[in-house]
Structure 1
Amino acid sequence: MMISLLTKALSKHFLLLFLIGICILLVSSCHNVCASATNEGRETQALLKWKESLQNSGHSLLSSWNLNPPYYTSLNSSFNYQNSSSNPCRWHGITCDKSNSVTQINLKRRGFQGTLETFCFSCFPNLQTVELSHNYFYGSIPSQISNLSKLQFLYLSNNHLSGAIPSEIDLLTSLRQLFLHQNNFSGSIPPTIGQLRSLEKLVLSSNNVTGHIPASLGNLGRLRHLSLEENLLSGAIPQDVGRLTSLIVLNLYDNNLISSIPAALGNLSKLDVLDLGFNKLSGCIPQQILLLKSVTEIRLPNNRLTGSIPAIIGKLSNLRLLYLYGNKLSGYVPREIGNLISLEELEVSLNMLIGSIPASIGNLSNLKILHLYCNRFSGLIPYSIGNMGSLNVLNLDINDLTGPIPASIANLTKLTTLGLSENKLIGTVPPEINNFTSLKAFEVGENFLSGYLPQDLCQGGVLEWLYAASSNFTGPIPKSLKNCTSLIRVQLQMNQLTGNVSKSFGIYPNLEYIDLSYNKLYGELSQNWGHCQNLTSLKVTSNQISGRIPPALGKATQLHVLELSSNQLAGEIPSELGALTSLFRLELNGNKFSGNIPEELEKLLDLRELNLAANNLSGQIPNQIKLCSKLYYLNISWNKLNGIIPSEIRSIYSLRIVDLSHNLLEGGLPLELGYLRNLEVLNLSHNQLSGSIPSTFELMLSLTSVDISNNLLEGPLPDNKAFYNAPTAALANKRGLCGKHTGMEGCLSATNNREQGNKMFILIISFASLSFVFVISGIFAVLCKKVRKPDEPMEVQGTNVFAIWNYDGKLVYENIVEATNGFKSRYCIGAGRSGSVYKAELPSNQIVAVKKLHQQSDGGTDEEKDSKDALLFGVRILRRRKPNKDYEAHISDFGAARFLKPDSSNCTSFVGTFGYVAPELAYTMEANEKSDVYSFGVVALEMLIGKHPGDLISSLSTSNLILLKNLLDHRLPPPRNQVAEEVISIAKLAFCCLNNSPQNRVTMEQVSQKLFLQRKIKAMSKPFQMITLADLF
């Protein structure tokens, strides 16, 4: 009975407890549902608000982001929220968890433009993934991003985000992957990033991040991928990186890192890829990193590494790629390199390696790319090289290799590039190369090779680059070239090739450059050349070409250089050449052309060099030549031209060299000829010119060489250094010239007296004028002194001989000679290869540093000779991949150097070259730290467009739509791929330097960072051919 009552009592208690539990569960569930609904509402409203801030919010992807049917904040039993479009979980790009809370936002590659400022980070407590890469988001990352406490994946790469990486990022403790590459982030990497202990991948590449690599990165024990390449990081690689024992990829490429490679990297036992290229790392390659058994790629190019390649490298059995090019490595290539049986790419070019190429290299049967060019390798090319049957690229250019090309090279049938040029190879080219059907580049020039070129070089129809110049090749042009439409560049000059050019060449839609000069070719020029629409240079100098220039050649409108000199061409120069409006150089000298100089040449507005010498041309020099205003070299000597020298020649201010000798020119010398202030060489000899030499010739201060012999000139020589220093034979005339020259009679005394009287009259007038000016100035000074307030400071400024309105070159020179006592050694404060520097105190109390250049045996300085050579011959690209042997940059200053006054922070004297000085210096005479930046911009732009950019700079506001490709130097082939990106980068930098406002102009430190720290080059947003000046600002 008691048991029964007890059982009933317990049953009641259990029932009561059960009912209480059910109530608690119902209340809790109701609370969760309400909270969930409230959170969903916040997320929905946050997404809609952010959508409104996106400029292309009407994009089809976001069309689902709406409240249809209307969203109710209270629960409605008749409304199915789960299936409505008001639920963000059903929106495109949004993923939710089971409680309908947003966990992922994915808008990758959707072309959205906007910021993250209006995004409510605190509204998404469960957000784990944000994927916004490959869009156009800009602005900075708000510090509120730290509210995403559950965030694991943050992808913001390939946008236009800027500013610093927020230090609050350390609060994202769940973060596993952080991708911020390809943006414009600046500032340093926050040390707090070392608190992200869950981080597995960190990618900050291709930004403007500066400062040191924080040592705190060593705390990221789970990090497997670290990419910081293409930034502006400096300092040494911290030893703490060696604590990242989980690291698989370490990429620090293209920064400004210095010091040695830390040996602690040898602790990264799981490392697969090591890329430290394009920095300033020095010292030897540490052996510790060559013990990493798992590493497959080692990239250390373009640093300052020294020493030899360690033999221990042969133990890296898994290594597939080894880049050591562009360093200062020396010694021998160890034979152990033949143990790298997995190696696919080996590049050790641009070093100072010596000795022979080890025969063990033939063991690398998987090797596809082998670059050994630009070293000092000697001896024979190893026969074992034929064992590398997988080889696609073999480049041994620019070494000291000797002997024949090994016959085993015939086994390399997969070759696309064969580079053996600039060595000392002998013998013939193996005929088996005819079987290389994949060959795109064949380079064997500048050797001692002889015999025939392989006739079926283009059997595969893909040959693009043929370089066989400066050798002893004989026989015909390879027959396969006629139909080789893939050709881009052909250089066969300076051989003994024979054959009929009329039958050896066809139409080449991709051809840009061809040089057949200095051979024994004959026949006539084909009309096919006019159908090569991309042809920029056609050179057939010094052959036996006959016939006429085909008029169809005028259709090759991209032609920049046309050299047909020293042949047997005859007939008239076709007027159709006037259609070659891009022509830079026209050389037709040494032929048998007759008739007049065609007036249509006036259309060649970009012409710099015109050489029609040694022909049978007649008639007069056309007046229209004045329209060729960029011409700096004009040679029409040794013809039968008659008439007078047109006065319109004065319009060609750029002329440096003029040769009109050995013609039938008559009449007097036009006084306008003296207005060619830049003229350096003038030859008018062997004509019938008469009369006196105009006094304007005294104004030709740049003139260094003159020849007026064998004419009918008479009277006094002009007061010009070039005439006084000219050889006697250069002044010999059939009548009488007089003057102060060795072997020449002095001028008549009457003439002297008359000239002396004129000079005295001028002197008296000048003295009286100066006296009047001084008196007026004195009175004005006294009046100013009287009206000056007692407490007003008096400004004293002496005469400044360097000011524009005070400058007198002769006076300055005399003052300098007097101040240095004829350049005595006790005034010398320094000396260099090109000259000595003297300290001189001028009468105006200015202290200047004067550089006196050393003289050569021929009376000219090195700088003068280089300048003349540059003007005579222009810039010439001989071939690709022919760098300076020392890889050394050379810097030239813009003018004279001077000491500032001790109490002065700026220089108020105009010192510099007109056309290169900044506007504020030219107008206000005040220099600052930004003045040289402007000058650098002018020079950089001048290098790109091949001329002084004065006209372009003055019309920038109206030239925004001009295509960049139309401004570039037409002497060079159009840039492609990486070169095109570099051209755009330099052009942008140049225009940054040319800002008229010094405050808005970049600093030289910024210029230096972008140029000398191997600044990254981002991919072009549109094709190079469509880039306008507006895109560069």
Structure 2
Amino acid sequence: MSTAVALCFCLMLCFYLPCVKSDELQILLNLKSALNESNTNVFDSWEASNSVCSFNGITCSSEGSVKEIELSNQNLMGVLPLDSICQLQSLEKLSLGFNSLHGQITEDLGNCLNLQYLDLGNNPFTGSFPDISALGKLQSLYLNGSGFSGIFPWKSLENMTNLAVLSLGDNPFDRARFPDQILKLKNLNWLYLANCSIEGKIPPAIGDLTELIELELQYNYLSGEIPMEIGKLHKLWQLELYNNELTGKLPVGLRNLTKLEFFDASANNLEGDIAVVGSMTNLISLQLFQNRFSGGVPPELGDFKKLVNLSLYTNLLTGPLPQKLGSWAEFNYIDVSENFLTGPIPPDMCKKGTMRALLMLQNKFSGEIPSSYANCTTLKRFRVSNNSLSGSVPAGIWGLPVVDIIDIGYNELEGPITSDIKNAKQMGILSAEFNRLSGELPEEISEAKSLVRIELNDNKFSGKIPHGIGELKRLSNLNLQNNRLSGSIPDSLASCVSISNINMADNVLSGEIPSSLGSLPTLNSLNLSGNELSGKIPESLSVLKLNLVDLSHNRLTGRIPKSFSSEAYNGSFTGNPGLCSSSIRTFKQCPSDSGLSKDARTLIVCIVLGVTVLLASLGFFFYVRRAEYDHRRSLKDESWNIKSFHVLSFTEDEILDSIKPDNLIGKGGSGNIYKVMLPNGVELAVKHVRKTDCCSGGKSWSTSSVFSKHAGKEKEFDAEVRTLSSIRHVNVVKLYCSITSEDSCLLVYDYFRNGSLWDRLHTSNKMELDWDTRYEIAVGAAKGLEYLHHGCERPVIHRDVKSSNILLDEFLKPRIADFGLAKIVQDNGAKDSSSTHVIAGTHGYIAPEYGFTYKVNEKSDVYSFGVVLMELVSGKRPIEPEFGDNKDIVSWICSKINSKESVLSIVDSRIPDVFKEDVIKVLRIAILCTTRQPALRPTMRTVVQMLGEAQPCKLVGIVIGKEGGDRKIPKATLDSAEKLNLLV
């Protein structure tokens, strides 16, 4: 009987198994049809004629059922059919990370009851994450960088007692305290909660998770002290706490973390000494920068056998560095800048020949520069400025083959610049000002052809300026003032076509000023004062648009050129008794020529021609005046109401009289712009918004305008303008007042004669902007937007961020313009001001979600600002023919993130190679800002912080730990940013 039962069971199983396999085949084929693949052949084997166990990415159990789906990093797109996938009863592993899967994760995920490994990380999902309490067998959960928002279902973790890996970081969850549920997961060995809005204190019970190997809590809002109990985590290999709001001292318990290799508590408010790190003998990387630590650097660090990265900058540390520091391992970099450290520079940090950066500026180091660094051929940045170093600079330092920056200024160093400088083929910045360097400048300096800045002022250099200096085609700044240089100014200097600043003041230069300097296309500042120059001032200098010219205290003679003959240049020529002028009263008058001069003859011809032209133009003149009169009369006929929010130095009539065609300087999406010159010389810009500029859905203001008196819309407009007028920020254009009528509005702003960033980057009369200037523009504009988003009583969304709305003052400092106007113009009484079917913005800058959701918020501005950053980096317009049909700068740049060479090709060719590392840092930020998923974009507050860390010439870290230690980009936030990190 039992034999018969067994036979029946086997027969039933034989019928059942093909049915199961058939169901699993259909489930996988459904998965294939739901997902699209790009540049991968992973689904080639997924055919109905094949066994599911032979499918690429599929692993089966011994019984032949699907056990694992491994499809991570396959460029897959689409929405997951979880209702189907979770019917795979034997499924233990579902790995789909690093793809482009979107949509929401449904509650069906809770039906995958046998899952032990789940990876949905690094995908642009949306919405909240569902309750997965039923997945009690989970051992690894990866959801990092996947766009999930809202409140995470922390309670669903309570039953996951087998969980060893929990990775939820880089998601814009709602703020929440450190969840108690995590503290019950005693088997956790990896906890990644970075950048996911955790606030409050780190609970002492964290010390009960004794299996932890990696603990990452960076980029959150954690406050209070680091709990002493964290010292119970004896197995910790990595501890990341940077960029929080932690206070207090490093707890003594940290001494117990003897297996720790990576420790980063930077960018907090920690204080006290750092003695406890002296017990962490296995450290590879120690990052404690930007805190308030004091006391000495533990001497034990000099005996650490693995230490390769040390970053302690911007603290209050004192005393010497251990002299054996970095001598044991393949040391990479040190940054201890901006402290009060003393004593000599440790000599052996490049003992293994691998050091890339030595940053020790702004301390009190003394003694000589160790000669060992003259042989450190891997050094890219050597910065020891603002110390008390003395002695001669080792000759080999000047010729380091891959060095980008030599910064030794503000010390007491002596000796010459040697001919070794010919070997420094990649050096962009030579900064050695305010020392006691002497001797002649070597002719070989002309072979360092990457030089962008030479800052050798305030030394004791003598002899002639090398004639070969004209070979430095990338040179932008040449500062040689306050030395003992003699001889003439080399005529070859005119070959430095990129130069913008020349300062040779207070030397003993003689001879004439080369007229060829007038051919320098980008020269902005020329200071040759305090020398023994003679002869005439070259007329060619008149062609240049110099912001500063100083030729004072020389031996110049002859007439001051007419372009300089104004009171504004009085101080530029003093101390030259031989100069004369016909218009500057402080100089002797130039003798007049006898007879009819050439100028007089030219004047007579001009008068005759002028009369002829005048007669021919009278008709046209009266025509224009009549049109202008009609225009002014129509404005005067309207009833105007002025609302001022500042003390005004002008009247309503002065503004109205200036709204005429002659003063039109621009047209924008929200109205025409006029320049107003007040009688007192003050210049203003007036935006005239007319009803024809503000239609929505075919309705003019008369029926739906915010200016209509119907339904109180005039009050809404007044309230909006009052909000905009209350804004006070150095990087936001000041709105003085509004002058409104029933059909028009005049908004009165500051005027900026330097135009917009668009003008400087893209127009035919564009001006060269060096990288420092571009960076400062980026930071200033970011701070302006940050203020609009976070600093006002209620957030002001710009809605039309673009380079033409970033104006530049006389010092090229940026001001955000037209903020809030898009809302005023297109709101038109909409019930929800965050949603409109009229797309405000400019093609190329508009965030992708705006095109199909019509919703705009702060993250839409962030996207547009990311495009502006890309303009600054590449010099390209947002839309260029070279990008291809229906392509913009964002897609073009993303297509270039495939090799180091193609990444570097993105950078504007006008930016010297020495700055390209700094430029790439900003490009990373631009890519993060233009992430397709709004939730994954940083806030403007975070953007400002990241830009601060990308400051030129400041070493900044990257995810894979190349160099520096300022900040790491959050893991897996965006594939393009990750690829960029790996390539550059």
Query: TM over 0.5, yes or no?
Result: yes
Please name the residue that 2:234 is paired with.
341
Compared with structure 1, are the counterparts of its residues 665 and 943 closer, same or farther at alpha carbon in structure 2 (3 Å cutoff)? farther
| Map of 1:940 onto structure 2 | 869
Matched-pair contact (CA < 8 Å) for 2:137–2:162: yes
Q: Does 1:151 align with 2:52?
A: yes
Structure-to-structure mapping, 1:481-492, within 5 angstroms: 481-492=373-384
Matched, 1:367 2:367: no
- C-alpha contact 1:368 1:392 (8 A) present in aligned 2: yes
User: What residue is the counterpart of 2:728 in the other structure?
Assistant: 833
The secondary structure found in structure 1 opposite 2:486 is: strand
Deviation at 1:650, TM superposition (A): 6.2
Instruction: In structure 1, list runs of 5 or more residues that go unmatched.
Output: 1-98, 104-120, 158-172, 691-710, 717-730, 737-758, 780-797, 855-859, 864-869, 879-883, 906-915, 922-927, 993-1001, 1026-1033
Match of 2:401 in 1: 509
Correspondent of 1:326 among 219, 243, 261 = 219
Amino acid at match of 1:939: V
2:910 paired with 1:1015: no
Deviation, structure 1 residue 633: 3.5
Q: Alpha-carbon deviation of 1:146? A: 8.3
Return closer, same or farther for 1:455/1:128 CA change in 2, 3 Å cut-off. Answer: same
SS at match of 1:521: strand
Structure 1 counterpart of 2:365, from 473, 495, 501: 473
Aligned-partner Cα distance in 2 for 1:330–1:1006: 24
Q: Using CA pairs under 8 Å that are at least 6 residues apart, name the structure with larger relative contact order, 1 or 2.
A: 2
* Match of residue 184, structure 2, among 267, 288, 291: 291
- Please say if residues 209 and 232 of structure 1, whose CA atoms lie closer than 8 Å, have aligned partners that are also in contact: yes
- Once the two structures are superposed, residues 780-831 of structure 1 have per-residue CA deviations (whole angstroms, 9 ceiling, x without a partner) of xxxxxxxxxxxxxxxxxx9777564986512697896999xxxx99985541
| RMSD over aligned Cα atoms | 5.5
Measured in 2, the distance between the counterparts of 1:765 and 1:656 equals: 40
1:404 is the counterpart of 2:268 = no
* Shift in Å, 1:284: 1.7
Q: Are 2:729 and 1:770 aligned?
A: no
Deviation readout 1:695-715 (Å, 9 max, x if unpaired): xxxxxxxxxxxxxxxx64344
Secondary structure of the 1:306 match is strand
Task: Find the counterpart in structure 2 of residue 300 from structure 1.
Answer: 193
C-alpha separation in 2, matches of 1:208 and 1:586 = 50
Alpha-carbon offset, residue 181 of structure 1: 3.2
Post-superposition CA distance 1:534-555 (Å, at most 9, x none): 3222211111111112122222
Q: Please say which of residues 1010-1019 and 336-345 is displaced more in the overlay.
A: 1010-1019
1:433 matched to 2:433: no
Inter-CA distance 566–842: structure 2 relative to 1 (3 Å threshold): same
Q: Which of 450, 472, 475 is residue 342 of structure 2 equivalent to?
A: 450
Secondary structure, in 3 states, of the residue corresponding to 1:330? strand
Q: CA deviation at 1:499?
A: 0.9
Aligned residues of 1:341 and 1:366 also touching (Cα < 8 A): yes
Instruction: Give the one of 813, 822, 825 matched to 1:900.
Output: 825
- Cα deviation, residue 203, structure 1: 2.6
Q: Partner amino acid for 1:247? A: L
Is the 1:551–1:576 Cα contact (8 Å) retained in structure 2? yes
Aligned to 1:494: 386
| Aligned with 1:686 (options 553, 564, 574) | 574
Question: What code does the residue aligned with 1:969 have?
Answer: I
- Superposed, which structure 2 residues align to 1:113-132 within 5 Å? none
Q: For residues 587 and 549 of structure 1, do their structure 2 counterparts lie closer, same or farther at Cα, with a shift above 3 Å needed?
A: same
| Greater mean alpha carbon deviation, residues 513-522 or residues 263-272 | 263-272
Aligned with 1:1017: secondary structure? Answer: helix
**Which residue identity lines up with residue 900 of structure 1 in the other structure?**
V
- CA contact under 8 A between 1:260 and 1:284: conserved in structure 2? no
Residues in 1 aligned to 2:879 and 2:513: alpha-carbon distance in whole angstroms: 31
Equivalence map 1:67-78=2 (5 Å):
none
Alpha-carbon separation, structure 2, partners of 1:777 and 1:301 = 63
Q: Which has the larger radius of gyration?
A: 1
Q: Is the 8 A contact 1:560 1:584 kept in 2?
A: yes
TM-fit CA distance, 1:371: 0.9
Structure 1 residue aligned with 2:923, among 979, 983, 996? 983
Distance 1:934 1:393, change over 3 A: closer
**Could you give the per-residue CA deviations for residues 862-915 of structure 1, whole angstroms, max 9, x where no partner exists?**
x9xxxxxx999945999xxxxx9999798874334544388899xxxxxxxxxx
Letter in 2 for 1:346: L
Residue 349 of structure 1 contacts residue 375 of structure 1 at CA under 8 Å; is this kept in 2?
A: yes
Tell me the secondary structure at the aligned position of residue 336 of structure 1.
helix
Match of 1:473, SS state, is: strand
Structure 1 SS opposite 2:236: coil
Q: How does 1:303-702 map to 2 (within 5 A)?
A: 303-382=196-275, 384-433=276-325, 435-503=327-395, 505=397, 507-649=399-541, 655-670=546-561, 684-686=572-574, 688=576
Question: What is residue 792 of structure 2 aligned with on the other side?
Answer: none
Letter paired with 1:1017? S
CA contact (8 A) 2:685 2:748 kept: no
1:534 maps to amino acid:
Q
In 2: Cα distance, 1:904 partner to 1:127 partner: 50
Structure 1 residue 343: Cα displacement:
0.4
Flag the 1:969–1:1003 CA change in 2: closer, same or farther, 3 A.
Answer: farther
Alpha-carbon distance in structure 2 between the residues aligned to 1:340 and 1:592: 63
Q: Tell me the CA shift for residue 400 of structure 1.
A: 0.8
Could you say what secondary structure the match of 2:869 adopts? Answer: helix
- 1:809 counterpart = 2:675: yes
Distance 1:413 1:944 in 2: 40
Work out whether residues 527 and 551 of structure 2, in 8 Å CA contact, stay in contact via their aligned partners in 1: yes
Matched to 1:420, the amino acid is L
Residues in 1 aligned to 2:569 and 2:788: alpha-carbon distance in whole angstroms: 28
Which SS does the other structure have where 2:221 is aligned? coil
Structure 1: how far apart are the matches of 2:28 and 2:480? 78
Amino acid at match of 2:873: L
Tell me how far 1:412 sits from its aligned partner: 2.5
Structure 1 575/307 Cα, relative in aligned 2: closer, same or farther at 3 Å? same
The letter for the 1-side match of 2:240 is E
Q: What's 1:970 paired with?
A: 912
How far residue 564 of structure 1 moved from its aligned partner, in angstroms, is 1.3
Change (3 A) 1:149 1:365: same
Aligned to 1:79: none
State how far apart, in whole Å, the 2-side matches of 1:231 and 1:563 are: 48
Task: Tell me the secondary structure at the aligned position of residue 307 of structure 2.
Answer: coil
Contact 2:871 2:877 in 1 (8 A): no
Residue type of the alignment partner of 2:869? A
After superposition, where does 1:167-178 map in structure 2 within 5 Å? 175-178=66-69
Counterpart-to-counterpart distance in 2, 1:1009 and 1:212: 23
For the residues of structure 1 that align with 2:375 and 2:194, how far apart are their CA atoms?
A: 40
User: How many residues end up aligned between the 2 structures?
Assistant: 756
Q: Which amino acid aligns with 2:186?
A: K
Match of 2:150 among 256, 259, 263: 259
Q: Which moved more, 1:962-971 or 1:627-636?
A: 962-971
The 1:762/1:715 distance shift into structure 2, 3 A limit, reads farther
- Counterpart secondary structure, 1:490: strand
Asked if the contact 1:658–1:683 (Cα under 8 Å) also holds between the matched residues in 2, the reply is no
Specify the code of the residue in structure 1 equivalent to 2:494: E
**Structure 1 stretch 350-359 or stretch 464-473: which is displaced more?**
464-473
C-alpha offsets along residues 202-237 of structure 1, whole Å, 9 cap, x if unaligned?
A: 233223333332222121112222222222223223
Q: How does 1:16-165 map to 2 (within 5 A)?
A: 137=39, 147=48, 151-152=52-53, 154-155=55-56
Task: Kindly state the Cα deviation for residue 466 of structure 1 after the two structures are TM-superposed.
Answer: 1.5
Show the counterpart of 1:207: 99
Map residues 738-753 of structure 1 onto 2, 5 A cutoff: none
Using the alignment, how far apart are the partners of 1:176 and 1:574 within structure 2? 74
| SS of corresponding position for 1:939 | helix
Whether 1:245 aligns to 2:136 is yes
User: Identity of counterpart residues, as a percentage?
Assistant: 27
Change in 2 beyond 3 A, CA 1:185/1:152 = same
User: How far off is 1:277 after superposition?
Assistant: 2.0
TM normalised by structure 1 equals 0.62
Secondary structure of the 1:975 match is helix
> Taking structure 1 as reference, are residues 148 and 562 closer, same or farther at Cα in structure 2, changes over 3 Å only?
farther
Q: One-letter code of the match for 2:727? A: G
